[in-house]
Structure 1
């Protein structure tokens, strides 16, 4: 892809976070983080997610993407607001049978 120079005004806090993330992930500066964010946005901006509550507590979930529809049945949805991150690492979850199906690309 051809690279072009583009200047704009960004929220100072967002730019600081982008610079920190670039440094942590050994990326080529904040622009690499901004480009990755734009790629994720454009890959998902036309995606729709629909849910329907069923009897017995099941949730039917439908993800509609261009050229693809995904159906899921979910028995229970539990959201934890407070948790210890050390229990949710690759090293802890993989031996327990969890499979990582998606992670945002770094760079």
Structure 2
């Protein structure tokens, strides 16, 4: 892909976070993080997610993407804001039968 020079004004905090993330991941710089974010945006901008709560606490979820529709039935949803990250690593989850189905790509 051909690269072009582009100049813009960004929020200083976002640029700082992009630089820090690039350094942590060993990337060339903030541009690599910004490019990954733009790729993610364009890959998912046409995606629609629909949910409907059914009797008995079930949630019906439909994800519409170009060329594909995913329909899920979810028994319950729990959102936890306080948790210990060490209990949700690959080494802990895989032996318990969990399978990672999505993780943001690093570049």
Shorter-chain TM-score bucket reads: over 0.9
Aligned-partner Cα distance in 2 for 1:96–1:55: 30
> Partner residue of 2:59?
59
TM-score by length of 2: 0.98
Structure 2: runs of 5+ lacking an equivalent: none
After superposition, the C-alpha distances for 1:21-67 in whole angstroms (9 at most, x for unaligned) are 00000111000000000000000011000001111110000001111
> Partner residue of 1:95?
95
Q: How many aligned positions are there?
A: 107
Aligned-partner Cα distance in 1 for 2:16–2:95: 36
> Partner residue of 2:32?
32
More off after superposition, 81-90 vs 34-43 = 81-90
Structure 1 residue matching 2:105: 3-state secondary structure: coil
Matched, 1:49 2:49: yes
Runs of 4+ in 1 over 3 A off after TM superposition: none
Aligned-partner Cα distance in 2 for 1:80–1:70: 25
Matched, 1:8 2:2: no
Aligned-partner Cα distance in 1 for 2:67–2:92: 35
Structure 1: runs of 5+ lacking an equivalent: none
Structure 1 residue matching 2:3: 3-state secondary structure: coil
> Partner residue of 1:70?
70
